[in-house]
Amino acid sequence: MDKFKVAVLGATGLVGQRFVKLLSDHPFFEVAALTASSRSAGKRYCEATKWMLGSGFPEAVRDMKVLESSPEAVKGCGYNIDIVFSALPSSTARELEPAFASSGFNVVTNASALRMFDDIPLIVPEVNSNHMKLIEHQRRRRGWRGLIVTNPNCSTCILTLTLKPIMDVAGIEAVHVTTLQAVSGAGFSGVTSMAILDNAIPFIANEEEKMQTETLKILGTLEGETIKQADISVSASCNRVCVLDGHLECVFLKTRRPVSPEEVKEALKSFKGLPQELKLPLAPTSPVIVKDEVDRPQPRLDRDEGKGMSVVVGRLRSGRDGWLKYVVLGNNVVRGAAGNAILIGEVMAKSWLSD
């Protein structure tokens, strides 16, 4: 087949680079346009980018001219763009992404700005692909020729992949989650070395609010033209730690029905979703891997499981108070950002192919 042409907005930042890397040699997609701030526009991609992902700069886009982040510029790229992947900062995304959708572009975005709007799907493909149906309503209501689908907050995305199978098997009443988050979550310059060396920081702006609200939408039920939020009490405490990539989350969880750690383990291990069914390129064989070693998961050792698309669970046990306890690790830049967004794109592309 001819590959779908895609654009990456905000392609020079850390998440943008991850998009570009994951899209190079992708079986469905071909990068046809890259955008950045006006400071970088006009430069070759390799000049405009301080490449942070080690060896393997993607040759195909080395000399691609960086465009401004505007619908007009992307339209002028010479290709018909099927999907626009956005790694724009949230402040910019708020105005720009609707402009792109209004101009006819299909936008899948990692920005937080629009996630909680009623008619905008917030998707973890294994968990709630059916929420994509909101798009029809969205386009009708907003009069858009294009559309916007959003990718959740990194910690939330990782967490919900474990909550969904537990909810299905036993219901969930409450979650207390404490995160240990990697510095890459804040972007290349987000955390200075003097702040984090020999240190940990028990605060990440807006992170707890995102985990506490986005989780309920993702696990919610599609009812007509809206999502009925899940009836779960989620409370988060978020920390930054001295790790490059990989968010670790310590979960205390109260189910609605009694359930043994063994049942939960079985539910996590056997969990599959639409991406596995469709055998999508970025879909990991197991979205949730459960490790039995007493000291896992660990960020450096486990963040590349399933090429960064699997989350890894360990230390599944029961507390004396009947709450379940476990630890989950996810790759914040792959599953928690660019990878999940591309997986959303793959779901869309597959639906076009089967139409």
Residues that bind its own copies (CB under 8 A): 14, 52, 54-55, 174, 176, 178, 180, 183-184, 188-203, 212, 233, 235, 237, 239, 241-244, 248, 250, 252, 294-302, 304-305, 314-315, 319-321, 323, 325, 327
- Catalytic residue flag (residue 154): yes
CB of 295 vs its own copies, minimal distance in Å: 4
| Residue 27 or 322 with smaller CB distance to its own copies | 322
| Residue 6 or 48 with smaller CB distance to its own copies | 48
CB of 197 vs its own copies, minimal distance in Å: 5
- Catalytic residue (choose from 154, 238, 242, 250): 154
Cα 306 to Cα 120: distance, rounded to the nearest angstrom: 28
Which contacts qualify for 59-63: CB closer than 8 Å, 24 or more apart? Answer: 60/24, 60/31, 61/20, 61/24, 61/31, 61/34
- For residue 44, the tally of other CB atoms under 10 A from its CB is 15
CB of 198 vs its own copies, minimal distance in Å: 5
Classified as helix, coil or strand, 174 is strand
First-last CA distance in the chain: 15
Task: Sort strands 221-223 and 233-240 into parallel, antiparallel or unpaired.
Answer: unpaired
Cα 347 to Cα 219: distance, rounded to the nearest angstrom: 18
- For residue 83, the tally of other CB atoms under 10 A from its CB is 28
- Catalytic residue (choose from 26, 131, 238, 247): 247
Query: Which helix (H) or strand (E) is 94 found in, with range?
Result: helix 90-102
CB of 350 vs its own copies, minimal distance in Å: 27
| Residue 12 or 138 with smaller CB distance to its own copies | 12
| Residue 55 or 80 with smaller CB distance to its own copies | 55
- Catalytic residue flag (residue 176): no
Report, as residue numbers or ranges, the catalytic residues. Answer: 154, 247
